[in-house]
């Protein structure tokens, strides 16, 4: 197999850990695989470099920032290659440029546009382990760019796609994706496999493990992703396309989002175009709307409830005040003490009663549901924040995720 192994900052956090990574790479090679390694900067290194720049300027030129930040990953790549060669395992380190990674010219948050894998294949075919500095590329004029914080996962996925690798393993300090947050429900179980779409919906569980951008890219490029820990030999979680998952569980996981607030608009003028006006104005102010509920109107008035991320409430309020002034809305209230609990699973597509079970589980705990939204593979409920943990635990057991 051709395997891309990506090691994050904590996995290469000091010289001893870099040696551990070298040992793991060596083991993979001895099992008969070809290996391309993508590395992050040693943990804390990128922050340190950012602070160095800030010592001189509050607003340093972005191309200089990219020159600076890209160096952190190059240090790790070079050290790992040196360690591998010393163990008798031929290896070569490459910058993003050498690996053929071309990005747009948006410094400090560039997007990968193309990858020419020729050099990587040349080195692989001559029997070497290829170690690539993550998080970086060059624009079409050869200027160094970086992909945004946490971007070396993206490098790894994009490289795996360009090489048509069999597997892209992302090594972190977390052992995989769980049925729910184990800090809330200690009976949470690690999933063997999960589909891209479920993973995207469970983002609140996986956010610390994988960025959504990386999962989206893996889905687009059809890259089989594995998240696992570099500290033990424990198997991780495979994130793959739905067709590769034979047994489709009704529900794969329970996600909790405590970062939403509810905005309730009362006495909204019930006229054509009002929703369009309100939500376009919110969009213009870059407010992200999640759930929306509009109730049936009476006497030319209706009520409209929606949720926004907690840190966008003030922006939303500024927009809504304009509608108040214009008498298009009679009253507004804000509720910060809510949370959103979601059940996610591809099996829902072909089964009935999955949502009903979620509602009866809440009822049995006497938890009031104030908003509901569904998609093909998800049911989300807004409830009072104080019941968040109870809701997660009872749903987890109602769908037998602890079994
Ligand atoms: N070193 C970069 C950062 O800290 C990229 C990465 O770790 O993925 O954001
Ligand atoms: Mg990192």
Q: Check whether 350 has a pLDDT greater than 90.
A: no
In DSSP notation, 96-107 reads TTTTTEEE-S-T
Domain with CATH 3.40.1160.10 in the chain: 2-173
* DSSP helix/strand/coil, 296: coil
CA of 95 to the centre of ligand 2 (A): 17
pLDDT tens digits, one per residue of 144-178: 999 999 999 999 999 999 999 999 999 998 899 99
Average pLDDT over residues 324-337: 94
Domain with CATH 3.30.2130.10 in the chain: 243-403
Q: Is the CB of 62 under 6 A from ligand 1?
A: no
For residues 63 and 143, is the Cβ–Cβ distance under 8 A? yes
pLDDT tier, 205 (very low <50, low <70, confident <90, very high otherwise): low
CA 40 to ligand 1: nearest atom:
7
Q: Is the CB of 7 under 6 A from ligand 1?
A: no
State the alpha helices, DSSP H only, in 4-44.
15-30
Angle at 397 between CA 396 and CA 402, to 5 degrees: 85
pLDDT tens digits, one per residue of 46-102: 999 999 999 999 999 999 999 999 999 999 999 999 999 999 999 999 999 999 999
**E-state strands within 242-370:** 253-257, 260-269, 292-294, 301-309, 331-335, 338-344
CA of 62 to the centre of ligand 2 (A): 20
Distance CA 116, CA 102 (A): 8
For atom 6 of ligand 1, the residue with the nearest CA is 150
Beta bridge partners of 376: none
Determine the residue of 10, 13, 96, 152 to mutate for testing ligand 1's pocket, defined as the one with the most ligand atoms within 8 A of the Cβ atom.
Answer: 152
Q: Which fold does the domain 2-173 belong to in CATH?
A: Carbamate kinase (3.40.1160)
CA of 190 to the centre of ligand 2 (A): 22
Of the candidates 265, 260, 223, 263, the residue with the CA atom closest to the CA atom of residue 244? 223
For the domain covering 243-403, report its CATH number: 3.30.2130.10
Q: Check whether 112 has a pLDDT greater than 80.
A: yes
Element (H, E) at 193: strand 193-195
Q: Is the CB of 135 under 6 A from ligand 1?
A: yes
CA 147 to ligand 1: nearest atom:
5
Q: Check whether 206 has a pLDDT greater than 90.
A: no
CA of 276 to the centre of ligand 2 (A): 40
């Amino acid at each position: 197999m051709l395997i891309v192994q990506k090691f994050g900052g904590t996995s290469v956090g000091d010289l001893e850990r870099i040696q551990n990574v070298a040992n793991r790479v060596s083991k993979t090679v001895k099992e008969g695989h070809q290996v391309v390694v993508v590395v992050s900067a040693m943990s804390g290194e990128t922050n340190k470099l950012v602070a160095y720049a800030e010592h001189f300027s509050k607003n340093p030129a972005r191309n200089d920032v990219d020159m600076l930040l890209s160096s952190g990953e190059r240090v790790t790549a070079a050290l790992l290659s040196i360690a591998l060669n010393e163990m008798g395992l031929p290896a070569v380190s490459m910058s993003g440029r050498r690996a053929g990674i071309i990005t747009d010219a948006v410094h400090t948050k560039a997007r990968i546009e193309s990858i020419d894998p020729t050099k990587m294949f040349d080195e692989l075919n001559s029997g070497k382990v290829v170690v690539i500095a993550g998080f970086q590329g060059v624009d079409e004029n050869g200027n160094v760019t970086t992909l945004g914080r946490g971007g070396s996962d993206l490098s790894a996925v994009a490289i795996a796609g360009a090489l048509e690798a069999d597997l892209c393993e992302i090594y972190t300090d977390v052992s995989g994706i769980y049925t729910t947050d184990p800090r809330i429900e200690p009976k949470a179980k690690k999933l063997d496999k999960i589909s891209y779409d479920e993973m995207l919906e469970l983002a609140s569980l996986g956010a610390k493990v994988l960025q959504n951008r990386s999962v989206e890219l893996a889905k687009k490029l059809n890259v089989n992703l594995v998240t696992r820990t570099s500290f033990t030999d424990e198997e991780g979680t495979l994130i793959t396309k739905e067709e590769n998952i034979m047994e489709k569980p009704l529900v794969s996981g329970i996600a909790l989002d405590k970062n939403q607030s509810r905005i309730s608009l009362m006495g909204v003028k019930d006229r054509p175009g009002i929703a369009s006006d309100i939500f376009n104005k919110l969009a213009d102010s870059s407010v992200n709307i999640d759930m929306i509920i509009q109730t049936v109107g009476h006497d030319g008035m209706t009520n409209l409830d929606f949720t926004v991320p907690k840190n966008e409430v003030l922006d939303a309020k500024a927009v809504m005040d304009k509608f108040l002034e214009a008498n298009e809305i009679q009253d507004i209230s804000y509720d910060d003490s809510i949370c959103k609990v979601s059940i996610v699973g591809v099996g829902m597509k072909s089964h009935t009663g999955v949502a009903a079970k979620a509602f009866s589980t809440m009822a049995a705990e006497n938890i009031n549901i104030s908003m509901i939204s569904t998609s093909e593979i998800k049911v989300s409920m807004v409830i009072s924040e104080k019941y968040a943990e109870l809701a997660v635990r009872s749903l987890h057991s109602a769908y037998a995720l602890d079994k």
